[in-house]
Amino acid sequence: MGESGSGKSTLLKVLRGEYDLNHGQIFWKTEAILGPKHHLVIGYDFMKYVAQEFELDLFISVVDNIGKHLSNFYKEEKKSVFQNC
Per-residue pLDDT reduced to its tens digit, 3-22? 888 988 888 888 888 899 99
User: Is 70 exceeded by the pLDDT of residue 84?
Assistant: no
User: Is 80 exceeded by the pLDDT of residue 56?
Assistant: no
What Cα–Cα distance (Å) separates residue 31 from each residue in 15, 18, 28, 79? 12, 16, 5, 27
Question: How far does Cα 22 stand from its chain's mean position?
Answer: 22
CB 59 within 8 A of CB 40: no
**Percent of the chain residues topping a pLDDT of 90:** 20
Nearby residues of 8 by Cβ (< 8 Å), 6 or more positions away: 1, 2
For residues 8 and 13, give the distance between their C-alpha atoms in angstroms, rounded to a whole number.
9
